[in-house]
Amino acid sequence: MNTQHFSEQELIRREKKAELEKLGIDPYPAAAFPVTHTAAEIKANLTEENKETYVDISIAGRVMSIRDMGKASFAVLQDHSGRIQLYVKRDDICPGEDKTLYNTVWKKLLDIGDIIGVKGYGFITKTGETSIHVQEFVVLSKSLKPLPIVKEADGQSFDAVTDPEFRYRQRYADLIINPQVKNTFVKRTVMINTIREFLNSHGALEVDTPVLQSIPGGAAARPFITHHNALDIPLYLRIANELYLKRLIVGGFDWVYEFSRNFRNEGMDRTHNPEFTILEFYVAYKDYYWMMNTTENLLEQAAIALNGSTDVAVGDKVINFKAPFNRVSIYEAIEQHTGFDISDMNEEQLRDVCRKLYVETTPSMGRGKLIDEIFGEKCEHHYIQPTFITDYPVEMSPLTKKHRSKAGLVERFELMINGKEIANAYSELNDPVDQRQRFEDQVKLMERGDDEAMFIDYDFLRALEYGMPPTAGIGIGIDRLCMLLTNQASIQDVLFFPQMRPEKRDGEAAATTE
């Protein structure tokens, strides 16, 4: 065996594994272990009055600490629900003359991080600690790599692992040693289930649409491209599922939704990951006013489900998710925060405003992109409390219905919370002639070098020509919403496995995980 890449601790653990095997103990037994209780259940329910009902406990988990006291030991076992103290007495687990199981296996060959199963009975120590008096134990999985140890004293943690490089790359270890991390992901699931229950209770139908698409439509974003060998055609990982969901509205479904895994070949920062989750739903015979009301009610319910209140702590702020949310038009927002009324400006005038505001631009940017840059740079960060930014210029919104009373605008809103976009919604464009012209305008932007401009989706245009009813649609950033509702500052903290650069190894430029 090549041992050059093993640390001293890893070599010692491999030697212990070999010693277990010499004793006839399989470090990775095939048989299942019967678990009857969890740590949290025992700690929550065991009392002096009912301890007779906890005389036959079988529990399994990871050893997190061992305190040797000679003929007895205390240990801490961690299962999926939490931690509990074990009391191991030599003569109880080795009632005969042979004390190998305690003196050798328990005291010498067991390490922190090993997974064991124990049987015994529950009791409460003189200091009030709920514990398990172990009568049997078995090794279920020998840990060959030592865990970073988090020391605890007086209810406080010391030497906690906070290095993002370690935590995000080795999430499995992060989840073991930082219990609060697991709670974030449990809350994420509660949030998604709450949203799903809200939609289902209102008659929505959950659907699936393609991830591999011949045209990356439904958003302005740079796609990932791949190649299908059998068909010999390029395919794109979806940047949005909007156009497919609207095809279903054409087909006769009145309310459809999908938790969509999307991919955008763009930058990475604390609010962007190239792979992310969006909830999109589309409802026939509704408009963006209805969608604003529905969205604020949905998010209010999600906040209460996760935090018990509409007031949610986010960093040093408290954000109130109580409906209704404030509503401000994008032109009003820009004038309020920059002093410029841009509502009637053409592209050249907008470029001049950008120069005065020190907003960077490129020649490929059209009028819509310039307005988007001004808002993003000078306005977005001001909106901490939930605010609907409404009534966007038509140039910014190629899939949106023109405003019913305001020329040059469309019926669109973006929901801003804590200075970031959380949702984007429209009264959907259902005029196939107008939609074709909007797509053609996007192609002109693409020819100018805008690599986020939309392709023409001819099949979607054909679907619209069959007739799509008036429809309201929305996309909600699930990862960003989870950041808010769980008080996490980075999108990487709400993704189990965020995208990272390939890991560098000694003597290698990069490598995959071990």
pLDDT of residue 65: 95
The number of residues in the chain equals 514
Say whether pLDDT at 409 is over 50.
yes
- Taking only the tens place, the pLDDT of each residue in 278-303 is 999 999 999 999 999 999 999 999 99
pLDDT at site 2: 59
DSSP for 55-114 reads SSEEEEEEEEEEEE-SSEEEEEEEETTEEEEEEEEHHHH--SS--HIIIIIIIII--TT-
Task: State the Cα–Cα distance between residues 325 and 418, nearest whole angstrom.
Answer: 13
Residue 17, pLDDT score = 98
Q: What share of the chain is helix, strand, coil (3-state, %, to 5)?
A: 35, 25, 40
Fold entry, domain 8-147: OB fold (Dihydrolipoamide Acetyltransferase, E2P) (2.40.50)
Residues 87-98, mean pLDDT to the nearest whole number: 96
Q: pLDDT of 106-157, one tens digit each?
A: 999 999 999 999 999 999 999 999 999 999 999 999 999 999 866 555 555 4
Omega of the bond leading into 398 within 30 degrees of 0 (cis): no
Domain boundaries, the chain: 8-147, 180-325+385-494
Supply the CATH classification number for the domain 180-325+385-494.
Answer: 3.30.930.10
∠ CA 33-38-41, nearest 5°, is 155
Structure confidence by residue, pLDDT tens digits, 380-402: 999 999 999 999 988 888 889 99
- Token code pair at residue 342: 């841009």
- What's the count of helices (H) and strands (E) in the chain, helices before strands? 15, 20
Note the pLDDT of residue 319. Answer: 98
